[in-house]
Structure 1
Amino acid sequence: MAAPARWLEPVTFAAVWDRSVERDPGALFLRYAPPGGTFAEWSYGDFDRGVDAVAARLRTAGVRPGRAVHMALANGPAFVAVWLAAARLGAVMVPSDPFGRAPELAGHISRTNPAVGLCAADRAEEYRLALAKATESEPALATDAIAVDEHAPDLDGLTGEVGRSAAAPRRADSGVRDTAAVMFTSGTTGRPKGVAVTQANYAFCGKVMAERAGFDADSRLLVVLPLFHGNAQYYSFAAAVWCGAAVVLAPRFSASGFCAEAAAGEATAASLFAAPLRMILARGAAGPKLRLRHCWYAQNVSDEQYGQLAELFGCRPRQLWGMTETLPAPLTNPAADPVPSSMGQQTPGCLVDIQDAAGRSVPDGEVGELVVGGERGVTLFAGYLDDPATTEASFRGGWLLTGDRARRDAADHYYFDGRRGEVLKVAGENVSAVAVEAVLAAHPGVLEASVVGRPDPIRDEVPVGFVVARDPARPPSPAELLAWCEARLGKAAVPRQLTLLDELPRTSVGKIRKFLLSARASAGS
């Protein structure tokens, strides 16, 4: 196996932004339509002047190189301007779910000690409660709170008179390995980990994803996923900044409005998860047919859904796989011949392998753990916030252990086989929850499905399924679904129980909260 991927001439994300501004200051950078409003537009040069003003406001609030800037802001120009201003000042952006509750926000604040925190004016009370809770655990905490209109079509309220009148602060002399952000994982199974993302990480991510997608200065990337999450930052914004492309930013995802937003914004590309794609087919397929040149998506859709999406979008969507820690997606499908069921092939510039528990590469067709090679702080994340033990435990021989199981075929396509904890042990037989989910999802009456294990006194554990019907008015019966599974699965893999749900429980970025389903399954045992 080759040595881990390296980037021989890394640059900072702040420098990448400056380069795109200098290359064509008049080029369109951002289009944004606030809820119920009309599009506002900024060129690279216009937005850069706004970034200078925001940087001046942040510096007045005590932001210095290495200090954190906490954000609980929804999609809007304010989020983007604060992100770029923090990078310019050499500060550390810490984005949280803008609709998170006080305990979650307090945890992020207390662990990063931000000089300033920004929140939406209409959620300021919850944010101040979070600051109070954070101060209880960290009495020395002194965070200046700024409440703004997160959907304002200008930056005036964010910059304030201070930002507009002050001279632009000097750009920080940031190093490529300086921390640019701390991205907290969803924490669905434990305390959220803080992923340290460097200046070089953002730049490398933008480079790899722009080149793999074929973006250029004429591209327009529609962003509907939340900006506090890696997908929107890594695969869309960082990629756009790298090549000087434009971003069409939506305040939030709307299944029924997606196609209309894409058409109105003249979007050429998008990035989504499987769950929003299914929602678009269920609620928004009557919208205008699009002419996208490119669409990334994460997680599987059925063959039928894939065909419908290709027709609706005007391009063949390309599945990818990545993590907050990997920055760019190490696995991406090629443009020429994407395989819908595959996570993709090794992305140029990245390095992946499938290994056994001893760290040996496994042969094609054999299931093992997906691992990612790279240089920490440049092509991979720098580490977990204040947790060197967990950081070291996440690597083996220079490879990042992802916890995802996969297999590779002879054409270098990788196929997901579940998380380490998603292989059920049924009477001594290994059963892949992902494989059972795929069979359930293939039923014509099923929109999506999730499978978890339930403790069993005889078999140790058994699979149980949770299903969302394609047509809630005419759902398939559990008996019909069980018969479908019995015809396609071995005896051990057939679910012992099936439950119809209106929707699967998800995090704010669409990941299924399987621990909630597991708790429900166990309660019903």
Structure 2
Amino acid sequence: MPDTPIPLSAGATHRFEAGLERRAANYVPLTPVSLLARAAAAFGARIAVIDGERRLTYTALYERCRRLASALAARGVGRLDTVAILASNIPEMVEAHFAIPMLGAVLNPLNTRLDPATIAFSLRHGGARILIVEDAHAGLAAKALAEMDSPPLVIAIGEGGIDGTLAYEDLIAAGDPAHPWAPPEDEWQSLCLLYTSGTTGDPKGAVYSHRGAYLQALGNAVTFGLSGESVYLWTLPMFHCSGWSYPWACVAAGATQVCLRKVEPAEIFRLIAEHGVTHLCGAPIVLSMIAHAPAHEQRDFSQIVRCAVGGAAPSSTIIRTMEERGFRVTHLYGATESYGPATACLAQPDWADLTDEERYQRMARQGVALATLDAVTVTDPETGEPVAQDGIRIGEIRLRGNTIMKGYLGNPTATEASLAGGWYATGDLGVWHTDGAVEIKDRSKDIIISGGENISSLEVEEVLMRHPAVMLAAVVARPDAIWGETPCAFLEVKPGAAVPSSDEVIAFCRERMARFKVPKTVVFGPLPKTSTGKIQKFVLREQARAL
């Protein structure tokens, strides 16, 4: 970077601005790539990534990323070109999060659980020039590419691949380990493209910046207590919000990342015990799988494992079971549009005086803003004004800060709808407590209005999850000729548990909530889930209407 002043503001004359412009010595655009360069320089011999028997030090990881950047540049990839990747939680996914931004290009992690048509849409819409594919997903990639008129160049990871593709390891071998790179001239430059898993219409592509990714990495590291002694297990898909930005956060802290291709309780327990795992993240279904793992799949371990969960709040039953098995649960809240976590439910000193049930209720709140988010608020949907912090008045949760997406690629209408008025409108309804913590009561579309009364589906689900036979619960509105609509409960029972009767479940609820909130209909069976483990309530609403 040239050592010349960069004007802070045109015509600045105040003595605290004049002659005090930004320079190469005191201003460098923020980018998460610098975190890896620093890690390699500061503790290069430390293990950065574990994948089975394979180990990568920070020195080796940095070198491989520079080799990959060099090889991609030799094939014409440059500033703001899109490079997509279709892969599991493997070291190459971590490498992609650094090598592609080194070029000023845009990383586009693709959801491996989607159908070929949606993958093809994402590649077309994002304008991918390169597609990196793990051999395990070669079949999916081939079907998606067959639907494209101008498919991207394909790079194959592993032995199996697609005819005519380049081999990933050959590119690494041929690349320059000292490939030069520099931060973007503008830290607002686009870094990453993540497609949301919408329930209707085409996915929307949320765009991240170098600045936002850097700050989110630090916010995650501070909030989750990551350090050089931390061992992070990848139970969360790295394609989901770029792994909630944890590929960058772990490197910022100098932690070790342990790869996991498939979420299986036995493998999770094995890796925790063998590698001394200290941290993991996941959707509520991951916690449920761990909590309900049969005894023969569990392993003893001496360390406390910090477990961050996003999505629906974990039930008190799940939290209790996790604590008994050596896990400490932290509830996070966010979205693809907020680089993953935006708020965290942080323990307060007065929790020590609470009963277990009261503490679990506090732990299920969405909490307060991460240090790197500017603010969170709960606003009246009609007036846009903040609601009272009384834990009662319901409004829409909104977020603001440097870790909110730039917008949706090629979709100004959706961008304006989401970011208008100075806030990101989440669409989640919640309350604001006196201690500043927010608590989701429902998605705006999931509130049940029965006989003029508003019923939180989350509140009913929390009660249902206390039933000893219930593993997962989802509550939606079912049309009713008298009440307008009433709660309909869909329940998935624990493995090996006897299925209770509907009357038994209804009686259980009547003892624990107001009668108008009690489900009038109960359905048993596996719950439909998205590719990221979220329960598909839109499917259940259709089923409820058909009952």
Same fold, judged at TM 0.5 (above)? yes
In 1, are the aligned partners of 2:218 and 2:249 still within 8 Å (CA)?
Answer: yes
* CA displacement at 1:46 relative to structure 2: 0.7
Q: Determine the C-alpha separation between the residues in 2 that align with 1:248 and 1:160.
A: 20
Q: Determine the C-alpha separation between the residues in 1 that align with 2:489 and 2:385.
A: 34
1:481 aligns with 2:505: yes
Q: Determine the C-alpha separation between the residues in 1 that align with 2:217 and 2:299.
A: 31
Match of 2:13 in 1: none
Match of 1:171 in 2: 181
Q: Determine the C-alpha separation between the residues in 2 that align with 1:166 and 1:271.
A: 33
Q: 1:172-187 residue pairs with structure 2 within 5 A?
A: 172-174=182-184, 175-187=186-198
Q: What is the RMSD computed on CA atoms of the aligned residues?
A: 2.3
Q: Find the partner of 2:304 among 292, 297, 320.
A: 292
Match of 1:53 in 2: 67
In 2, are the aligned partners of 1:433 and 1:451 still within 8 Å (CA)?
Answer: yes
Residue-by-residue CA offset, 1:24-76 (whole Å, 9 max, x unaligned)? 2112111112xxxxx21111101111112222332233321100011111111
Q: 1:488 to 1:473 in 2, by over 3 A?
A: closer
TM-score after normalising by structure 2 = 0.86
1:307 aligns with 2:332: no
- Aligned residue pairs: how many? 497
In 2, are the aligned partners of 1:61 and 1:116 still within 8 Å (CA)?
Answer: no
Q: 1:94 to 1:290 in 2, by over 3 A?
A: farther
* CA displacement at 1:469 relative to structure 2: 1.4
Q: 1:413 to 1:324 in 2, by over 3 A?
A: same
* CA displacement at 1:292 relative to structure 2: 2.7
Q: Find the partner of 2:117 among 87, 90, 103.
A: 103
Tell me the SS of whatever aligns to 1:317: strand
In 2, are the aligned partners of 1:268 and 1:293 still within 8 Å (CA)?
Answer: yes
Q: Find the partner of 1:21 among 27, 40, 45.
A: 40
Match of 1:516 in 2: 539
Q: 1:361-380 residue pairs with structure 2 within 5 A?
A: 361-364=386-389, 365=391, 366-374=393-401, 378-380=402-404
Match of 2:345 in 1: 333
Q: 1:142 to 1:499 in 2, by over 3 A?
A: closer
Amino acid in structure 2 at the alignment position of 1:273:
A
Residue-by-residue CA offset, 1:432-458 (whole Å, 9 max, x unaligned)? 111111121122221120011122333
Higher relative contact order (CA 8 A, sep 6+): 1
Q: Find the partner of 1:130 among 144, 165, 178.
A: 144
1:11 aligns with 2:30: yes
Amino acid in structure 1 at the alignment position of 2:529:
R
Residue-by-residue CA offset, 1:293-322 (whole Å, 9 max, x unaligned)? 522112322223212211212x53111111
Match of 1:360 in 2: 385
Structure 2: gaps (5+ residues) = 1-26, 352-358
Identity rate, percent: 26
Tell me the SS of whatever aligns to 2:485: strand
Amino acid in structure 2 at the alignment position of 1:61:
R
Q: 1:423-462 residue pairs with structure 2 within 5 A?
A: 423-462=447-486
Match of 1:322 in 2: 334
Q: Determine the C-alpha separation between the residues in 2 that align with 1:17 and 1:81.
A: 10
Match of 1:114 in 2: 128
Amino acid in structure 2 at the alignment position of 1:379:
T
Match of 2:284 in 1: 274
Q: Determine the C-alpha separation between the residues in 1 that align with 2:45 and 2:492.
A: 47
Whichever of the two has the greater Rg, that structure is 2
Runs of 4+ in 1 over 6 A off after TM superposition: none
Q: Determine the C-alpha separation between the residues in 2 that align with 1:212 and 1:9.
A: 25
Q: Determine the C-alpha separation between the residues in 1 that align with 2:315 and 2:452.
A: 30
Moved more, 513-522 or 304-313: 304-313
In 1, are the aligned partners of 2:48 and 2:58 still within 8 Å (CA)?
Answer: yes
Tell me the SS of whatever aligns to 1:422: coil
Q: Determine the C-alpha separation between the residues in 1 that align with 2:148 and 2:151.
A: 10
Amino acid in structure 1 at the alignment position of 2:407:
G
In 1, are the aligned partners of 2:69 and 2:175 still within 8 Å (CA)?
Answer: no
Q: Find the partner of 2:240 among 229, 244, 247.
A: 229
Amino acid in structure 1 at the alignment position of 2:501:
S
Q: 1:292 to 1:238 in 2, by over 3 A?
A: farther
Match of 1:388 in 2: 412
Match of 2:155 in 1: 146
Tell me the SS of whatever aligns to 2:430: strand
Residue-by-residue CA offset, 1:363-406 (whole Å, 9 max, x unaligned)? 122111111111xxx33111011111211111242111101111
Moved more, 340-349 or 436-445: 340-349
Tell me the SS of whatever aligns to 2:427: strand
Structure 1: gaps (5+ residues) = 1-7, 34-38, 136-140
Q: Find the partner of 2:78 among 64, 75, 86.
A: 64
